[in-house]
Structure 1
């Protein structure tokens, strides 16, 4: 091993840390700069050492029967295979049995050096995988990294499918840098082929956007970051809460309480309901009155001082029995000029009166969130779209738009597949075109600001795949806007807490199957108070 290899490599847990999420181009830039300044093979030596350290820690804490099983590595023909070979050599030298399957011999110079290291350490290297993995402990995916440009096929595609089957059966599959077959920029599977579904991923240099959005969360599993001595924003001081800012244009961050916590309002003894704003939730055409009620209840429990509901339909309830604190009106009779913030669109429908109401809302001197039907109205009406952009210029703060992928496609004049092909680019395009803060919902929700700031949200799970959860999110963000959080921070906070509530409910057994949208808001209230307003001794 090179002398530059640390004896105890650093592994960063990105949980609730606003780590940088670097694209392939950004990673290559840093990698090339580091290689020019370091001795040959240093980065590969460090990457392999970090992977070996991760595996040693897992084996050390495993039951004795599991810890005695050898580690099996799948090594591809490129530098990802070299990382696997270095890790195998390190484990072998540490007295841990391991074996490498290398269907095609590695080609790059660094990887050839790693192959010599593995052979010198006495690592058994075969060309064909075993008929069964039952005799092995951890399986390691070192087939392909961030440079893969085409779908996995042949023997590599077969290995990806076998590794994925092992993850589904018992876990204990580690991907090196990125699961083979996954696009680390977008979170999509490369070329529509197979990809490795790992239980864990050790990501080298920095975390990647594709590990947290699209299909990435399903394929990457639990992510750790091995900086391997290359500084990147947000992870250069592991274990220490680093001041975080969106200082580097084009670099996304992982959403975290560090990004929005300082904007949460103080709750001093002398505050009153006016201190926390007045929100209007507008929507609920005939037959759809439940949507704004869900949003309004969420807003109330998220700390808004006063919450009004304006219904368009003729079947609106006179009051909300579970929460009589909500003030219910017909939308036409609601004094919108008195509102601190307005959240419009849930169950609103597409009538002419709905369109007129959205135009009126966009002329207000208030914070505005548009969701659901309000977004569809904007998508098909150029005049309304212009009002969205004008709101940012005239009021000095952008609107918040919260589309799911189909709504985003309508707003961009494209289709859902194109939106999902690159979720970060789609969110950026929406934010730029409408001069708005955009919340592109989905697995790994993307939050984009018109000034270029970008974040991916790490919280949430399949429990949110049920009707009404989007209405709850709109109410949460609306409540935070009413409490005078800046639009981008309100969006970050609402999305993060919405997902964290689902995570907490699943952890206590109330999901993912069968979780109702209305169950989220009480948990959000508990989390807000636990995280931001803990009881003082």
Structure 2
């Protein structure tokens, strides 16, 4: 069989083969982890757990550990350590035929290190159950920037939130929407004492939430800093009654979880071809599903799929390895982003980015894919340039996203001179 053939090739090449690991890994330039693959169904324990720790120590010392397919002990679907046992911590992972979702979620990113895919000349499935987010999946959906465009071409977004003491959240989202190319951005504040305008960004139009003309909007993003009082629930009901593509985040999701009529309204929109985009973090997802956060994190793919089916909506399950799910069953894992995003306001920025794309008439699933990918890539770019991983602020993301959008998707656009 294949294993016997490979063993013969290794021996013929002079590779020493032993049934037992060496007493010490010192002196080896590289350690290759091929202990277990994707079929592992039990925790690494005993001698295997000890060997995994020795390999991890070698990785920390010399930085040269290559895992084959997946680091031994890692669940290739969920990114969790199998059976809460041990796992190999690699510096590099060479995965075969196609990317494994678990390499990009949970513990996977930390254990896998740098990831490369070897196709082995095996064609991927025609319709893989889970895809890896990449520009090829959404680039064609982004709007053209024709010379004769005007602000109406790129839509009007209403960002709604900002109860008393939480006005910064919708402002962060609205600023991000400007940087992502929305034609006009309105902010509707629920709380009293909201600012009359945003001095650094006077382009934003600020209003009391009940003064917004939702019929004039091409998209709505609701929930950032919204709070959960009765007035907030009334506002979400009003938003859901309108036809504009709608993103629900943060407290809007908590209200949907708490009010059955709002949950029914979200699902009804999807059933009539007006799917919302829901952007929960794990705790919000747990509230929507009626479970605990641990259950969501045990299988993020399943949780995102369940939410998309229950609410007939596009779901962005945020976290380490963000999952994007569609009501028709499509699942995508996002490979971009890093720990620099673990700071307040970054989720608001993501909501503004996706909302801006909805306002520009990008379909909900493509808008979610693009927003999540660019949000993470902006963080990766900033960290590579020294801004983070510690101390990156949410407001620094949007300008980086703008630069990426123009470099990746509009490189040939030039002003007449």
State the TM-score, normalizing by the size of structure 1.
0.75
- The answer as to whether partners of 1:405 and 1:416 remain within 8 angstroms in 2 is yes
TM alignment of 1:225-304, pairs within 5 A: 225-233=117-125, 248=127, 251-304=129-182
Task: Quote the offset at 1:479 in angstroms.
Answer: 0.3
Number of matched pairs: 414
Which residue number in structure 2 is paired with residue 373 of structure 1? 251
Task: Quote the offset at 1:315 in angstroms.
Answer: 2.6
C-alpha distance in structure 2 between counterparts of 1:161 and 1:434, whole Å: 43
Which residue number in structure 1 is paired with residue 362 of structure 2? 485
SS at match of 1:266: coil
C-alpha distance in structure 2 between counterparts of 1:433 and 1:474, whole Å: 21
Task: Quote the offset at 1:422 in angstroms.
Answer: 0.9
- The answer as to whether partners of 1:265 and 1:483 remain within 8 angstroms in 2 is yes
1:363 aligned to which of 222, 233, 241: 241
| Cα deviation digits, residues 394-433 of structure 1 (max 9, x gap) | 3x23100000011101110011111111111111110000
- The answer as to whether partners of 2:243 and 2:274 remain within 8 angstroms in 1 is no
- The answer as to whether partners of 2:198 and 2:204 remain within 8 angstroms in 1 is yes
2:57 aligned to which of 165, 188, 204: 165
For the pair 1:432 / 2:309, whether they are aligned, the reply is yes
In structure 2, the CA distance between the partners of 1:122 and 1:393, relative to structure 1 (3 Å rule), is closer
Which residue number in structure 1 is paired with residue 295 of structure 2? 418
Q: Structure 2: 5+ residue runs without aligned partners?
A: none
C-alpha distance in structure 2 between counterparts of 1:232 and 1:140, whole Å: 25
SS at match of 1:126: coil
SS at match of 1:397: coil
- The answer as to whether partners of 1:397 and 1:487 remain within 8 angstroms in 2 is no
- The answer as to whether partners of 1:466 and 1:517 remain within 8 angstroms in 2 is yes
Structure with bigger gyration radius: 1
For the pair 1:525 / 2:402, whether they are aligned, the reply is yes
C-alpha distance in structure 2 between counterparts of 1:270 and 1:299, whole Å: 21
For the pair 1:137 / 2:14, whether they are aligned, the reply is no
Which residue number in structure 2 is paired with residue 447 of structure 1? 324
C-alpha distance in structure 2 between counterparts of 1:226 and 1:408, whole Å: 34
CA RMSD of aligned residues (A): 1.4
C-alpha distance in structure 2 between counterparts of 1:264 and 1:135, whole Å: 52
Task: Quote the offset at 1:529 in angstroms.
Answer: 0.7
- The answer as to whether partners of 1:289 and 1:315 remain within 8 angstroms in 2 is no
Structure 1 residues 131-140 or 324-333, which shifts more? 131-140
C-alpha distance in structure 1 between counterparts of 2:397 and 2:154, whole Å: 21
Which residue number in structure 2 is paired with residue 73 of structure 1? none
SS at match of 2:238: helix
| Cα deviation digits, residues 153-186 of structure 1 (max 9, x gap) | 1111011112122223332100011100000111
Task: Quote the offset at 1:276 in angstroms.
Answer: 0.4
TM alignment of 1:120-159, pairs within 5 A: 120-159=12-51
SS at match of 2:94: strand
- The answer as to whether partners of 1:358 and 1:374 remain within 8 angstroms in 2 is yes
Q: Structure 1: 5+ residue runs without aligned partners?
A: 1-40, 45-110, 234-246
In structure 2, the CA distance between the partners of 1:536 and 1:372, relative to structure 1 (3 Å rule), is closer
Which residue number in structure 2 is paired with residue 398 of structure 1? 275
C-alpha distance in structure 1 between counterparts of 2:379 and 2:175, whole Å: 17
Task: Quote the offset at 1:460 in angstroms.
Answer: 0.4
| Cα deviation digits, residues 307-337 of structure 1 (max 9, x gap) | 0000111131111011011000110111112
1:197 aligned to which of 76, 84, 89: 89
> Which stretches of structure 1, 4 residues or more, deviate above 3 A after TM superposition?
111-122, 126-132
- The answer as to whether partners of 1:287 and 1:315 remain within 8 angstroms in 2 is no
| Cα deviation digits, residues 177-235 of structure 1 (max 9, x gap) | 110000011111000011011111111222211111221111111222222232114xx
For the pair 1:178 / 2:70, whether they are aligned, the reply is yes
